[in-house]
Amino acid sequence: MPKGARDMQVNASPAVAANAEGDEIEVLESTDVLPAAPEDQWKSLFDKYDPENSGFISTERFRDLLATHGSELDPHKLEVLLALADGNADGKICYQDFVNLMSTKRSNSFRRAILQGGRQLKGKALRDEVGLGLSQRLVRHVAYETLPREVDRKWYFDSYTYCPPPWLILAITIAEVAVFMYYGLQLDRWVLQVSSPSFLRSPLPYHPLLRAQAWRYLSYVFMHAGIEHLGLNMAMQLLVGVPLEMVHGAVRIGLVYVCGVLAGSLAVSVADMTAPVVGSSGGVYALVSAHLANVVMNWSGMKCQFKLFRMAMALVCMSVEFGRAVWLRFYPPAFPPCPNPSFVAHLGGVAVGLTLGVVVLHNYEQRLQEQSLFWIFLSVYTLFVFCGVFWNIFAYSLLDVKLPPAP
C-alpha cells in the first residue's frame, strides 16, 4: 500500500485481518489513543517500522514497537494487544490496523479475535494481583461482579477512573428517599402510606383516571407504598444498579431503567386497568433480572464469590417484594372503590430486563447499534409502547371500563 493511500485511510472505517479464514475485525474509532499525538505522528511512527514503505509491518516489529512504547500503556492493555498480535494469522499489520490496535476502544469482533484459537492472555489473573489500594480493590470487585471474561475485567480495571462517578442510580435513590420522607411527614405515616386517603392525591402516582397526564407513566417511580416497599427496592437498586452503572455507564443503565419504568406503567394500564401504580419496581426489576440473566448465561465465566448463594438471595428478595405487591393489590383498599396499587409493573420490568437489558449488559464497551438483537428488542419494545399508547386512548371507552374516581 503506498504511503499516500495510507494517509487517505486514516478516517476510513477500518478492518483488521483476524484469522486464517479471513474474518474481519471492525475496530471502533477513538480519539483516546496512545500516544496522544496528531495523525502525522502516527504516520511517522509507522514509517519508522516500515522503512520499505510497503504499507505493512510484521507482527514481530509490532511487538518491538509495543516493547518500546509499552511503558506508556496500562499493563493489561499491553497484554491484550500482544495477545492479538500473536494471533494474527497473516503475520503482518497494515497502517490502519496499527492505528486501531493502538487505540483504547474495542469492537465486539476485536474481543472475539483475542478469544479465538490460542489467543489467550498469558499474564496472571486480576484477582491474584496484590498491593492494590482501596479504590482499586473496589473496581476489581465490581469487575468480577459484572463481567464474565478476564480480558474485559482487565480492560475495565485499567480504564475506569471514577469520572464520572455512578451518579444516576444514586440520584434516583436520593430523590425517592426525599419524596418518601416528605410524604411520611405530611401524612404522618411511614408503613403502608398507601392506606392514607391523601396518598394518591399527589401529582406523582399513576392513576387510570388521570392517565392523560403523561408524566405519571414515569413519575410514579418516586412514590412508594411504605417504608417496607422503599427499603426492598432501594436495597436492590443500590446493590445491583451502582456496580452496573460503574461498568456500563449512566446512559445504558438509564436506558434499561427508564424502559422498565415505562413498560411497568403501560403493562398495568393494559392488564390491570383499574389500578394505580407506585414504586420503582419496574426499573429495579429490569436491572436485576438483566443482571441475573447475564450471570446465568455466562455462569462458567462469572468469578464472583458465592455466586449461587447470592443469586438465590437476589431471587428471594425479588420474590418477597413481588409477594408483598400481590398481597397489597388484593388487600381491602383504604378508600374503596379505588383498588390498591398494582403488581403488574414488576412483570413489565422483568420483560424489559430479559430482553433489552440482557443485550445491553452482554455487550460491554461495544456499540449497541452494531448488535442485531439490540435493534430487534428495541423494535419490539417500541411497538409495545405504541400499542400501549393506543390502548390507553381507545380501549377504556371501547370496553366501557368502570374506573374508580380520582383521589
On the question of a cis peptide bond just before residue 243, with omega within 30 degrees of 0, the verdict is no
> Is residue 196 among the annotated active site residues?
no
Q: CA-based Rg of the chain, rounded to a whole angstrom?
A: 26
Cell numbers describing residue 383: 411497538
- 100 near 27, Cβ under 8 Å? yes
CA distance 279 to 277: 7
Q: List the one residue out of 291, 403, 266 whose CA is nearest residue 337.
A: 403
- The cell numbers describing 239, all together, are 446493590
Residues 6 or more apart whose Cβ sits within 8 Å of residue 297 = 358, 362
Alpha helices in 131-280 (DSSP H): 134-146, 150-159, 167-187, 216-219, 227-236, 242-271
Is 281 known to be catalytic?
yes
**How far apart, in whole angstroms, are the C-alpha atoms of residue 139 and residue 199?**
41
Q: Which of 107, 280, 281, 342 is catalytic?
A: 281
**DSSP states of 240-288:** IIHHHHHHHHHHHHHHHHHHHHHHHHHHHHHHSTT--B-SSHHHHHHHH
Name the active-site residue from 224, 229, 291, 346.
346
| 80 membership: H or E segment, kind and range | helix 75-86
Catalytic positions, written as ranges: 281, 346
